[in-house]
Amino acid sequence: MSLIVQKFGGTSVGTTERIEAVADKIKRYRDAGHDLVVVVSAMSGETDRLLGLARAITDQPVPRELDVLLSTGEQVTIALLSLALEKRGCPARSYTGSQVHILTDSAHNKARIQDIDGSRVRQDLDAGRVVVVAGFQGVDEQGNITTLGRGGSDTTAVALAAALNADECQIFTDVDGVYTTDPRVVPQARRLERITFEEMLEMASLGSKVLQIRAVEFAGKYNVPLRVLSSFEEGEGTLITYEEGTMENALISGIAFNRDEAKLTILGVPDQPGVAHKLLGPVAEANIEIDMIIQNVAPDGGTTDFTFTVHRNDYPRALEIVRQVAGEMGAREVSGDDRIVKISLVGVGMRSHAGIASEMFETLAREGINIRMISTSEIKISVVVDEKYLELGVRALHDAFQLDQAPQQ
Ligand code: ASP
Ligand code: MG
């Protein structure tokens, strides 16, 4: 007998038929003797529909009111799912975020969970009920409804699992696990049995959309074993956990990629202390997130060059800001490119193996793919290449590192 927190995403509860199918699945787990807390998203498309309603009234909805509106999507699904469970003779109770005291800060639309009082949930579990909780929402100290940011139901589930000390947090979704890369790009991509929190965090921040980044962070921090599995098919899914002896013996676990990249280059910046801050400070102040940065000392010694990447949506703003600052600083030239992508190899095995980077570069060279930027961390190597090489690059790397085959133990 174990306590499992299960989360069903928007597609899994997208119609009443699907909600009934989810109820059948939950009942099977219940009949097998597990205690269950179930977190649901809004029906698919519902959060976007609500956002559209707000936008029809104003371009700049007041964040507090937007949260009151958006939180209704999940309130519908908790009630419908509980009805479906009760119909099956499976006692259930639905709760909104505030009813189970999911306490957050007051940052509307992107609030962070600070505390959860599990006592009410525990009482229901002790009474033999399935507890159904609305994902994506909480309440601040003042009693205002908050939401956690898009995809936030994953975080609700992990936070509840941590607070209740659950044995596992299961995220049911429309894919049957975490793959070595996106199967739409590489049909031979393989489902991973296991992956570490660290690797999953890299994959999520580098563009893999299977799990919300914050949820993975939370799971790692509180050591909540996290499993991604399909709502529609049977299977073991992928377990995300700490590194251990039985881990697959892989150098590389996966290849992530991100199409939403753009880069800016500033040439001939007078090389003095403080120029990086002068140049990049205003970009950060405009709330534009900078990813990779390269600074190079030019051969003449007196000037330096910068290249950095931003999200493609932020590219026009960033270019405008940089043009102005570079002008003021007396830089020689500003240029940019928003037809670039980032491809990353991720694997904890890299720590103990040299030569992965050179194999990566060799593979790309063989395909005639020019690398524009490189960045590395302990467990990842990222390259920026022209957009047109994305598919070719990912496929070549998947092949070269034999990710379609299970690693030897
Ligand atoms: N319903 C919210 C969204 O669409 C939260 C979630 O699905 O996790 O982003
Ligand atoms: Mg979702």
Buried-state track 283-311, b at ≥16 Cβ within 10 A, e below 16: beeeebeebbebbeeeeeeebbbbbbbbb
In a domain, 202, yes or no: no
- What is d(CA 65, CA 69) in angstroms, rounded to the nearest whole number? 6
166 and 284 inside one domain: no
Task: Say if residues 307 and 265 touch (Cβ distance below 8 Å).
Answer: yes
Query: What is the structure's pLDDT at 11?
Result: 94
- In 10 A of CB 272, how many CB atoms? 11
Ligand 1: residues within 6 Å at CB? Answer: 9-10, 41-42, 47, 73, 135-136, 150-153
Query: What is the structure's pLDDT at 353?
Result: 85
263 and 133 inside one domain: no
In a domain, 231, yes or no: no
Task: Say if residues 97 and 139 touch (Cβ distance below 8 Å).
Answer: yes
138 and 269 inside one domain: no
Closest to 173 in 3D by CA, of 131, 133, 227, 119:
227
Query: What is the structure's pLDDT at 242?
Result: 86
| Tokens 């799912």 belong to residue | 81
**Count of structural domains within the chain:** 2
Q: Which two tokens stand for residue 8?
A: 């069903």
Query: What is the structure's pLDDT at 318?
Result: 97
266 and 165 inside one domain: no
CA neighbours within 13 Å on the CB side: how many for 382? 22
160 and 269 inside one domain: no
For residue 212, which atom of ligand 1 is closest to its CA?
8
- What is d(CA 178, CA 232) in angstroms, rounded to the nearest whole number? 15
The residues, ordered by sequence, that sit 6+ positions from 300 with a Cβ below 8 Å of its Cβ are none
Give the domain-ending residue among 123, 150, 174: 174
φ, ψ (nearest 5 deg) of residue 339:
-110, 45
pTM for the predicted model, two decimal places:
0.86
Give the domain-ending residue among 152, 174, 196: 174
CA dihedral 108, 109, 114, 116 (to 10 degrees): 110
17 and 128 inside one domain: yes
For a ligand 1 pocket test, name from 6, 12, 47, 51 the mutation site with the most ligand atoms within 8 angstroms of its C-beta: 47
In a domain, 199, yes or no: no
The CA 94 to ligand 1 mean position distance, Å, reads 18
In a domain, 203, yes or no: no
The residues, ordered by sequence, that sit 6+ positions from 53 with a Cβ below 8 Å of its Cβ are 69
What ligand has the least distance to the C-alpha of 173? 2
Give the domain-ending residue among 121, 139, 174: 174
- What is d(CA 253, CA 239) in angstroms, rounded to the nearest whole number? 13
The CA 78 to ligand 1 mean position distance, Å, reads 13
In a domain, 52, yes or no: yes
Closest to 217 in 3D by CA, of 148, 281, 284:
148
In a domain, 246, yes or no: no
- What is d(CA 227, CA 238) in angstroms, rounded to the nearest whole number? 5
Q: Which residue owns the Cα nearest ligand 1 atom 9?
A: 150
CATH for 279: 3.30.2130.10
- Range(s) of the domain holding residue 41: 3-174
In a domain, 351, yes or no: yes
Q: Which residue owns the Cα nearest ligand 1 atom 8?
A: 151
152 and 263 inside one domain: no
Closest to 70 in 3D by CA, of 99, 50, 49, 53:
50
Task: Say if residues 398 and 345 touch (Cβ distance below 8 Å).
Answer: no
262 and 375 inside one domain: yes
In a domain, 191, yes or no: no
SS3 state at 99: helix
Q: Which residue owns the Cα nearest ligand 1 atom 6?
A: 151
14 and 157 inside one domain: yes
Task: Say if residues 327 and 319 touch (Cβ distance below 8 Å).
Answer: no
CATH for 101: 3.40.1160.10
Q: In terms of residues, how long is the chain?
A: 409
Query: What is the structure's pLDDT at 408?
Result: 65
32 and 143 inside one domain: yes
161 and 20 inside one domain: yes
For residue 10, which atom of ligand 1 is closest to its CA?
7
Query: What is the structure's pLDDT at 58?
Result: 97
- What is d(CA 406, CA 100) in angstroms, rounded to the nearest whole number? 43
Rg of the chain on CA atoms, in Å: 24
359 and 263 inside one domain: yes
Per-residue pLDDT of the chain (409 residues; tens, 9 = 90+): 799 999 999 999 999 999 999 999 999 999 999 999 999 999 999 999 999 999 999 999 999 999 999 999 999 999 999 999 999 999 999 999 999 999 999 999 999 999 999 999 999 999 999 999 999 999 999 999 999 999 999 999 999 999 999 999 999 998 899 999 999 999 999 999 999 999 999 998 887 778 888 899 999 999 999 999 998 888 999 999 987 665 556 789 999 999 999 999 999 999 989 999 999 999 999 999 999 999 987 677 789 999 999 999 999 999 999 999 999 999 999 999 999 999 999 999 888 888 999 999 999 999 999 999 999 999 999 999 999 999 999 999 999 999 999 876 5
